[in-house]
Structure 1
Amino acid sequence: MQGNSLPHWPLLRLKLWSWLLPLFCLVCALLLTEYQAREIVARQQHQQLKQLVSVAGQLRSFIEAEVNTPLYLSLGLASHVKATGGHPDPKDTMLLLSSLLDQGKHIRNIGIAPDNVLTLIYPVEGNERALGINYTQLPQQWPVIQQIIQQKKARLVGPIALVQGGTGFIYRVPVFLNDGSYWGMISTVLDLNLLWQSLTQQSNSYQVAMALRYDGESQAFFGRTEWFQDATLTLDLSLRGAHWQMAIRSLDGTAGWGLWHWRLAGGSVSVIFCLMLGWLLFSFRRSFEFSEALQETETYSRRILDAVSDVIITTDLQGRIERMNQAVTVVFGYLQPELLGKDFAILLQSGESGWHEGQLPLQESIGVRKSGELFAMELSRRETERAGQRRYVWLLRDISERKEVEQLKDEFVSTVSHELRTPLTSINGALGLALGGVLGPLTDKQQHMLSLAEQNSRRLAHLINDLLDIEKLAVNKMPFKFKLWPLQSLLQQAIELNQPVAFARQVQLQLVDPEQADAWVEVDDTRFQQLMANLLANAIRHSPLKGVVSIRIELQPTQVTVSVVDQGAGVPVDFIPRLFQKFSQADASDRRTVSGTGLGLAICKELVKTMRGEIGYRHSEQGGACFYFHLPLATQLF
């Protein structure tokens, strides 16, 4: 059992590796994917942060410039009022206001409020409702204004609802004269819509999202408040009179994949790669298993072929030997490598293997051993295919021993037959004389006994004659004298010669279609009558009492068929293949009801073969047996 299990270890290891290797590669690929994903995302984030810092600096500078410029202009106006001692010239003031409005972006209006009463505003158009406002009467704004006055510092407040409508940022600058007394307030209103529009365009041009809020507050006054929670970068803005914070994040979705994107992509590629590797290993394992099974089948087939005692050889259509079994060494004496590529004719006495293409029926031939010895053999050929090309398979069987046995048997039978014929002739003669009354009158009992002895001696003589005939036919020593004969005349003569036998069995012999008198055959009339006698005797023996044995003639263009049909039970199906063999009988037991030697049909076969014909058997349509033979017409022999 241990020896049988050892060859399976490579296959088991291959199966184990076909599972473990893809799993190991998958784990390694996933770990590598995770590491690479983190590295790539980190590099992307670093690059994005670097770009975002640059953009944030530019945006901070832009906002500081956009907001601080109007504030500094307001401070200039406050210095002008202070320089005039609190009594600025209206004309000069209006020119200054016009100049300041042209220089400052996003300024909606500039107002001057001595004693906290807005007495001058520029431009007036659109801001009429703000004229004459007393800051102390604005409950929402006055606390901040009062705080500005107390701290003596300018402040940017808002966004707040404007009296004249809309919202905006107001930069309030308290004005104190040289003696330190409070003069009033200068207010510069920034247009919130224009400011936000400018900031939005600028942030969109940088592909970023931006939010603004006061330092220390949670709510954003520009942008979304939640952007401060998930913002990439938060910066403080340097403004006069206000402390703002700016949150900024990138809006460019194509800047790079996130960590989960890279994990998904890398994991997918890893799984696909490992599946392909697994499929490759599975295919290799299947190929290995198929190769092992094929090799095992090849070994098993080779062992079966080598166990066959007959020689099996495969050749191409030109007769070159390709494969053979071990029996070729036993039968022919050649080693297998000595015959590879050689012509198959080297094994035959004739030296020729170029028979007609296709199947070759079983036939006898003479083989040649490596030593040059000749021997009798049987060979046959079948067609097959290999890799889409036709091949021949030869089957050769050494029958030399069988031929020797047959020869010894034939010699023994011949010797016995010849040795028995002389004393049997004397016995027949003596019995005939005794029955003829030469020895005097015989009693009925003596007459009966001598008649039985004479009948059995005749049967024995008939058997000996059959044995001698079959021997002569086997060695082609039986003389034949061929002449042209009308077939109808020969058959009529056969009926007359066998009529006594049929009369004894109460069987009627008849010739069907006797008018076909134009069929001539070239035969030996004596051997033809022997042929018919055997066939008719066989039909009479197997016919029922008062039965009919018919002889039919069928003409074909090149031959004539003679059929002998009886009304008996017919031949058993399993016995038909052995009908024309020597000593073959359907019932060979000692209890058979029909006597016979088993040589009659074998003699008929050899006689018909010698007369260039063929003999066979078929079931009769009316029941019974039908033996037929073909003979060539005399016109076809010339």
Structure 2
Amino acid sequence: MSRPSRLGTRSRRRRTLNWTISLGLLLLLGLGVELLLQQYALRQFESAQQRLTARAGEVRAVLLSELNATLHLATGLASYIGARQGQVHSPELQPWLDGLLRQGRHIRNIGLAPGNRIAFVYPLAGNERALGLYYPDQPQQWPAVQRLIASRAPGLDGPLQLVQGGRGLIYRVPVFLGDDSYWGLISTVIDYDRLYAQVERVAGELDLAIHLERLEGTAASLVKGRAADGTPTVALQVQLAGAQWQLEARAAQARPAPLLWLRLAGWGLALAVSALIGLSLHGQHRQASLLLALNQSQRQFRQAFDQAPQGLALLDAEARLLSVNRSLCRLLQREPRSLLGHRLAQFGDNRLHSLQEQLLAAPAPGPVRGLQACLLDAQGEAIDVELSAAALEGDTPEHARWILHLQDIRESKRLQRLQNEFVSTVSHELRTPLTAISGPLELLNGGALGEVPGHLRQMLQIAGDNSRRLALLINDLLDIGKLEAGRMLFDCQPRPLQPLIDQALQANQAYAADYGVRLRQLGHCADWVHIDAHRLQQVLSNLLANAARFSPPRGDVELFTERRGQCLRLHVRDHGPGIPAAFHPRIFQKFAQADASDSRRQNGTGLGLAISKELVEHMAGRIGFDSVEGQGAIFWIELPRVDASGEQSA
């Protein structure tokens, strides 16, 4: 398996592991949320049950208070009868019983049963059916009455269905006289429905729902439970006068804990935390992958850097060599340790100083124009190289880095030199016989040797034109050879431009007339420029000749100037077919022709613009053009403006 494939498999496994960890963490956090919710629900339930118990105790206290008040009144009446030795008369009892009924809010009636038969009922109205009731004849009540008599203690019974209607609690007090003889019973009937309604009203105010139930046996004093809907319940024992009841209570309106929202919030938080951790793991994995890719890219760059066939070097902000490749070491025949840490200029001529200064003076990272220089190898032999540098992005200028490219051009310079020598030799060798040919042809065509027969005149004219074209080509070849070899001399001085324009128009007017074209200047130029007058004439002649050749018959070639800052721009405009867009990048190259057949028809050599570009740049100027195919062309040159003293114009 290849290394990229292994890295891809490892990356996929790491992503799967990251998401598995995130999912496991989500489940773990979710389990924690559920446990916390259970604990919260349990605490809420216990707290609600405690509050419920306290409120149920309040209800029980109200119930006992109402019952105790009634029982105390009945006990007082028993003491009164005992004190009278059982001699009771209705008129005497009337005020007593009225007081008892007023104080006992829930007493329905009071009955006196001497000998276990009810002989007196107060009030009688509504209770007539109870009068004359004999307890031994009541199978449901007599056992309880017997137990009371035997225990000699009061007892509370009920709730019972009363013979006079309704339900009631009956508080019976056995009465014994001073001689310890049994007199009978005092029966106090409590209106159970009214008492229970009052207790329910009190429970309602406490937000409770209650149920009172009679117990036959003993039970726990407090029973806690849970209703079917999950709400808490309590059951309290109510014991009074030998009777036992159980008061069950629960909340009237269930208020469940907001577990749904808490669960949603908890799971949402768990999901957010898991997602954040998952994204963090994913980011770390991606960062590790990017770091791995960066390391791999650096290794590949280092390998390509070290194995490149051209010399490469890494420079710091002070032009010191930080790293060199094998090709550069072989080129200079030096070991890397003898190069690293040294400045570039230590290994070459003054042109290396120029490159070093360009690097140090660069305001921001960017390309540096290539230049040719001479390096010295370990034996001190010169090596012609072409250098170019490109800046790497750095945080600060002090941490800037440069990649330097060095190309050995000794062989190309040798071939160029041989080519130039060949062209120069051929040009010089052709010039001598061409002069011997063109001279007689001009004499013959001029009639200096007599009248030329008509059938020879055209042939001699063609021979003369071709000899002149050949002379121009030879001159162009010699000029381009001098420019490339650096042997052409320039005499640049401040000069007024208008006389040079006049001279160029006059010198090329006859040539333009052969094509039916007129040369003319638009406006007047009063500026001075710093130029070589002879070389400028050569450039203007090339531009005007080209414009005339490509202008339509009876067309105009216009020359005009304009100021551009500290420069003066000179334009030559024609109204010909324009320059094809595909030819724009090659227009200033040697022997470049937009259309070979058209160029031959227009008598072009393909060297004029290349020579003009070299001449203008040697005079510290620029040359260019603007053209749209089918709308003519404008060639322009920019030259530095000066005043008559040679100072640069503002």
Question: Could you state the TM-score of these two structures normalised by the residue count of structure 2?
Answer: 0.68
Question: 1:88 matched to which residue of 2?
Answer: 87
Alignment of 1:88-487 (within 5 A): 88=87, 108=107, 111-114=111-114, 127-129=122-124, 135-136=130-131, 143=138, 147=142, 151=146, 153=148, 156-159=156-159, 169-173=169-173, 185-190=185-190, 211-215=211-215, 232-233=234-235, 235=237, 237=239, 239-240=241-242, 243-249=243-249, 265=262, 269=266, 272-289=269-286, 291-292=288-289, 295-296=292-293, 299=296, 303=300, 306=304, 348-350=352-354, 351-352=356-357, 353-355=359-361, 357=363, 362-364=369-371, 366=373, 375-379=384-388, 396=405, 398=407, 400=409, 402-428=412-438, 452-481=462-491, 487=497
Alignment of 1:562-601 (within 5 A): 562-588=570-596, 592-601=600-609
CA distance in 2 between partners of 1:321 and 1:249 (Å): 94
> Counterpart of 1:366 in structure 2: which amino acid?
A
CA distance in 2 between partners of 1:506 and 1:344 (Å): 59
CA distance in 2 between partners of 1:615 and 1:39 (Å): 89
Question: Aligned in 2, Cα 1:106/1:609: closer, same or farther, shift over 3 Å?
Answer: closer
**Secondary structure at 1:354's aligned position in 2?**
helix
Q: Deviations over 1:380-433 (max 9, x none)?
A: 667968699997876756373554443333233223323333344445457678
Contact 1:236 1:246 in 2 (8 A): yes
Contact 1:210 1:246 in 2 (8 A): no
Matched, 1:16 2:12: no
CA distance in 2 between partners of 1:354 and 1:336 (Å): 23
> Counterpart of 1:364 in structure 2: which amino acid?
L
Question: Aligned in 2, Cα 1:201/1:486: closer, same or farther, shift over 3 Å?
Answer: closer
Q: Which moved more, 1:318-327 or 1:10-19?
A: 318-327
Matched, 1:635 2:644: yes
**Secondary structure at 1:615's aligned position in 2?**
strand
Q: Deviations over 1:356-399 (max 9, x none)?
A: 53566635253758868664435366796869999787675637
Question: Aligned in 2, Cα 1:540/1:67: closer, same or farther, shift over 3 Å?
Answer: closer
Question: 2:612 matched to which residue of 1?
Answer: 604
Pairing partner for 1:498 from 478, 494, 508: 508
CA distance in 2 between partners of 1:205 and 1:483 (Å): 117
**Secondary structure at 1:349's aligned position in 2?**
helix
Segments of 5+ residues of structure 1 without an aligned counterpart are 122-126, 218-225
Question: Aligned in 2, Cα 1:301/1:190: closer, same or farther, shift over 3 Å?
Answer: same
Question: Could you state the TM-score of these two structures normalised by the residue count of structure 1?
Answer: 0.69
In percent, how many aligned pairs have the same letter? 32
> CA offset at residue 587 of structure 1?
2.2
Output the aligned Cα RMSD. 6.2
Q: Deviations over 1:561-596 (max 9, x none)?
A: 443333322222332333322222222359842222
Question: Aligned in 2, Cα 1:303/1:584: closer, same or farther, shift over 3 Å?
Answer: farther
Question: Aligned in 2, Cα 1:532/1:56: closer, same or farther, shift over 3 Å?
Answer: closer
Question: Aligned in 2, Cα 1:192/1:314: closer, same or farther, shift over 3 Å?
Answer: farther
> CA offset at residue 507 of structure 1?
3.1
CA distance in 1 between partners of 2:637 and 2:92 (Å): 151
Question: Aligned in 2, Cα 1:325/1:81: closer, same or farther, shift over 3 Å?
Answer: farther
CA distance in 2 between partners of 1:624 and 1:398 (Å): 41
> CA offset at residue 246 of structure 1?
0.8
Segments of 5+ residues of structure 2 without an aligned counterpart are 150-154, 218-225
CA distance in 2 between partners of 1:207 and 1:559 (Å): 101
**Secondary structure at 1:571's aligned position in 2?**
coil
Contact 1:97 1:110 in 2 (8 A): no
Q: Which moved more, 1:586-595 or 1:263-272?
A: 263-272
Q: Which moved more, 1:483-492 or 1:468-477?
A: 483-492
**Number of residue pairs the alignment of both structures matches:** 616
Pairing partner for 1:507 from 511, 517, 532: 517
